[in-house]
Every structure is written in C-alpha cells, then in structure tokens.
Amino acid sequence: MSEEKEKAGTAELSAQEGRKGDPRDIDFLLDIPLEVTVELGRTRMYIRDLLQLAQGSVLELEKLAGEQMEVLINNKLVARGEVVVVNDKFGVRLTDIVSPSERINKLK
C-alpha cells in the first residue's frame, strides 16, 4: 500500500509541474542574482595613452552627450534609458526595452 501512495504522490507532483502558468514553475529562478550594468560609453586607446593617464585626465567616449545609455544584464543588451538623479544618486529611466526576438537574434 505504501508503494501505491508513493506512486500517487509522484503522479500528483508530475501533474503540478506540468501545469502551464503555475507560478511555482519559475519560483526557483526569482532569487538568482544577475549583474546589471549601465554603459555610459566606450573608447579604445593605446597602452602608451593608458600609461599617461593621471588624476584629472579626460577620456572621450564614442557616445554623444544626451544619447541613451545601454542597460546590460549579464553583458546582454536588454534596454536603453536616460540618466536621472534620484535622492542624490544616479539612476536610469528606461525608455526602450529590447524585444525578446531582438535579444535572441543578437545571440546568433
């Protein structure tokens, strides 16, 4: 009889796991940490220029002033936004979310 109960419990668990839209299906993913980066801009330089950097040096970036920042999650572009100040800290107001299909295409 114990074996029958175990089989019934396993069948019930399998049925629960198979339900679509059941929030328990993804609950285990919700606490996985992700690295979020907001990219102000990029530049390339030679080692000789890198070695000459000092306090007060200015690095010129490829982005124009006022251009949208890129929001990367685990080094993958997911959104774009504009810089805002919130309680004396910098933040980013999202203005454009990259579509899932666009994200997938960039992986290829």
Query: What does the pLDDT profile of the chain (108 residues) look like in tens digits?
Result: 545 545 444 445 444 554 555 656 778 888 899 999 998 889 999 999 999 999 999 999 988 888 899 999 988 899 999 999 999 999 999 999 998 888 777 766
pTM: 0.61
Rounded-to-integer distance, Cα 90 and Cα 38, Å:
11
Rounded-to-integer distance, Cα 57 and Cα 79, Å:
30
